[in-house]
Protein backbone atom coordinates (compact mmCIF):
# COMPACT_ATOMS: atom_id res chain seq x y z
CA UNK A 1 0.00 0.00 0.00
CA UNK A 2 2.94 2.35 0.60
CA UNK A 3 3.81 2.01 -3.11
CA UNK A 4 0.36 3.33 -4.03
CA UNK A 5 0.75 6.39 -1.80
CA UNK A 6 4.23 7.04 -3.19
CA UNK A 7 2.92 6.75 -6.74
CA UNK A 8 0.03 9.12 -6.08
CA UNK A 9 2.21 11.70 -4.34
CA UNK A 10 3.70 12.98 -7.60
CA UNK A 11 1.65 15.37 -9.77
CA UNK A 12 3.11 14.02 -13.01
CA UNK A 13 2.09 10.48 -12.10
CA UNK A 14 -1.40 11.69 -11.24
CA UNK A 15 -1.55 13.38 -14.66
CA UNK A 16 -0.51 10.10 -16.30
CA UNK A 17 -3.33 8.33 -14.45
CA UNK A 18 -5.73 11.06 -15.60
CA UNK A 19 -4.67 10.52 -19.20
CA UNK A 20 -5.08 6.75 -18.93
CA UNK A 21 -8.52 7.32 -17.42
CA UNK A 22 -9.48 9.49 -20.41
CA UNK A 23 -7.97 7.11 -22.96
CA UNK A 24 -6.70 3.73 -21.81
CA UNK A 25 -4.05 1.78 -23.71
CA UNK A 26 -1.62 4.53 -24.72
CA UNK A 27 1.97 4.21 -25.81
CA UNK A 28 4.79 6.18 -24.21
CA UNK A 29 4.85 8.54 -27.22
CA UNK A 30 1.10 9.20 -26.92
CA UNK A 31 1.34 9.83 -23.20
CA UNK A 32 4.23 12.27 -23.63
CA UNK A 33 2.31 14.21 -26.28
CA UNK A 34 -0.88 14.40 -24.22
CA UNK A 35 1.00 15.42 -21.07
CA UNK A 36 2.65 18.26 -23.01
CA UNK A 37 -0.54 19.44 -24.74
CA UNK A 38 -3.09 19.08 -21.95
CA UNK A 39 -0.97 19.56 -18.82
CA UNK A 40 1.92 21.69 -20.04
CA UNK A 41 4.40 19.07 -18.84
CA UNK A 42 7.54 18.95 -20.92
CA UNK A 43 8.86 15.73 -19.43
CA UNK A 44 11.24 13.67 -21.53
CA UNK A 45 10.25 10.18 -22.65
CA UNK A 46 12.81 8.81 -20.21
CA UNK A 47 11.23 10.73 -17.30
CA UNK A 48 7.71 9.59 -18.24
CA UNK A 49 9.00 6.04 -18.58
CA UNK A 50 10.40 6.22 -15.04
CA UNK A 51 7.06 7.52 -13.76
CA UNK A 52 5.31 4.63 -15.51
CA UNK A 53 7.67 2.21 -13.81
CA UNK A 54 6.69 3.60 -10.38
CA UNK A 55 3.01 3.28 -11.33
CA UNK A 56 3.59 -0.31 -12.48
CA UNK A 57 5.40 -1.13 -9.22
CA UNK A 58 2.33 0.16 -7.36
CA UNK A 59 0.12 -2.03 -9.61
CA UNK A 60 -1.77 1.06 -10.84
CA UNK A 61 -0.64 0.59 -14.44
CA UNK A 62 -0.08 -2.53 -16.50
CA UNK A 63 1.92 -2.73 -19.71
CA UNK A 64 1.04 -4.87 -22.71
CA UNK A 65 3.58 -5.37 -25.45
CA UNK A 66 2.35 -5.70 -29.03
CA UNK A 67 5.08 -5.89 -31.64
CA UNK A 68 7.38 -2.94 -31.09
CA UNK A 69 4.83 -0.97 -29.09
CA UNK A 70 4.01 -1.11 -25.40
CA UNK A 71 0.49 -0.07 -24.40
CA UNK A 72 -0.14 1.18 -20.88
CA UNK A 73 -3.40 0.49 -19.08
CA UNK A 74 -4.87 1.83 -15.86
CA UNK A 75 -5.65 -0.74 -13.17
CA UNK A 76 -7.88 0.93 -10.55
CA UNK A 77 -8.03 -2.07 -8.19
CA UNK A 78 -5.39 -0.71 -5.76
CA UNK A 79 -7.37 2.54 -5.52
CA UNK A 80 -10.58 0.69 -4.74
CA UNK A 81 -8.73 -1.13 -1.99
CA UNK A 82 -7.67 2.20 -0.50
CA UNK A 83 -11.14 3.67 -0.44
CA UNK A 84 -12.67 0.46 0.88
CA UNK A 85 -10.25 0.54 3.78
CA UNK A 86 -11.75 3.75 5.18
CA UNK A 87 -15.25 3.78 3.77
CA UNK A 88 -16.61 0.34 4.56
CA UNK A 89 -19.36 0.21 7.14
CA UNK A 90 -18.41 -0.70 10.66
CA UNK A 91 -20.60 -2.87 12.92
Question: How confident is the model over 21-78, as pLDDT tens digits?
Answer: 999 999 999 999 999 999 999 889 999 999 999 999 999 999 999 999 999 999 999 9
Q: What is the pTM of this model?
A: 0.89
Question: How confident is the model over 74-90, as pLDDT tens digits?
Answer: 999 998 877 777 777 76
Question: Are the CB atoms for 70 and 32 separated by under 8 Å?
Answer: no
User: CB burial class (10 A; 0-12, 13-18, 19+) of residue 50?
Assistant: middle
pLDDT given at position 90 = 64
Task: Report the pLDDT averaged over residues 10-14.
Answer: 97
Amino acid sequence: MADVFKALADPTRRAILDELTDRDGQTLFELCARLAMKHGLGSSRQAVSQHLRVLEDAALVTARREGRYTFHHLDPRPLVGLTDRWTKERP
